[in-house]
Homo-oligomer: A and B are copies of this chain.
Amino acid sequence: MAGFDDATMVRSTGDGCYDVELDPQWQIAGKLNGGYLLAVLGRAVLAEAGSADHPYPMAASAHYLHAPEPGPAEVTVRVLRAGRTAAQARATLHADGKPCVEALVTVGRLDGRVWWDGVPRVDLPPEESCFRLPVQGPGFEVPLMGVVAERMDPAVMGWAVGRASGRGELRGWVRLDDGREPDPLSLLMLVDALPPATFDLGTTGWVPTFELTCHVRAVPSPGPLAIRQRVRHVAGDRVDEECDVWDSTGRLVATGHQLAGLRIPDGQQPAAAGDG
């Protein structure tokens, strides 16, 4: 089993180009996880544009073009600006001759002193009372659950037995299974690691991400992360979701926002909420 560091390793081949090996373990239902791909891009950006002044990703935005297969791929990084408080770069993942993901990444320092907080920490039962998500998902395999330990609040697991709450919220404790402690780079993956919160609306259809943005707010302390993934709005065949991540001290360390497609299997349509 390749841990997070092995699975996101980048090898410079010069001129801002990096060889990567996309690891099949980071798949969900036969597709590599979008957050994992963003972390690979983030690592290449840090290799190219990172410095003592700009050690961490602060903001990363990815648009997804093609789903790459596991195996060899290439990341090209172009540094757009290196300023005093931040540097910005564009990174593109190519696989099989096609651009698959492009991201813009701003890197800089992180100062976690909280001045004002409008996002109170999610309330979770103790980790040992939570339910670890298995590799075998509802009708498909989720190899990702063999490398990321996601222990869910039993109160949000109704969807697994056909009794979704209808609130559109999943939450739980998350650790990397390789024992690696969380850092800012791994947060780019973790804002997209929970199952789609649409499961809690009673629909387990595929949710392919169009766009994912991660704002990293602090360097996480060691220990388990508390993560909440929430549906904001479902319209047409698209959903937008918000993901908040707190470290073991209760500090908000990252927020993710994504716009995704929503393929609703027959018989799983949520009740229409009206048109206005």
A residues bordering B, Cβ < 8 Å?
A: 58-59, 61-63, 65-66, 80-81, 83, 85-86, 88, 90, 99, 102-106, 110-119, 168, 201, 210-211, 213, 215, 217-218, 230-238, 240, 249-252, 255, 257, 259, 261, 269-276
Give the 10 A-B CB pairs with smallest separation, nearest first. A111-B236, A61-B61, A59-B211, A115-B234, A116-B234, A65-B81, A249-B276, A63-B104, A215-B259, A213-B213
A217 near B231 (CB under 8 angstroms)?
no
**A-B residue pairs in contact (CB < 8 Å), sample of 13:** A58-B238, A58-B259, A63-B106, A65-B81, A65-B83, A106-B210, A111-B235, A115-B271, A116-B201, A117-B234, A118-B168, A118-B233, A217-B233
A211 to chain B, nearest CB (A): 4
A54 to chain B, nearest CB (A): 12
A259 near B115 (CB under 8 angstroms)?
no
Main secondary structure of the interface of A (DSSP, over half): strand
Q: Which of B103, B111, B210 contacts A59 (CB 8 A)?
A: B210
User: Which residues of chain B come closer than 8 Å to A99, judged between CB atoms?
Assistant: 80-81
B110 near A236 (CB under 8 angstroms)?
yes
This chain's copy number in the assembly: 2
B104 near A273 (CB under 8 angstroms)?
no
Which residue of chain B is the closest to A168 with respect to CB atoms?
A: B118
Q: Which of B81, B217, B234, B255 contacts A114 (CB 8 A)?
A: B234
A232 near B119 (CB under 8 angstroms)?
yes
User: Which residues of chain B come closer than 8 Å to A230, judged between CB atoms?
Assistant: 118
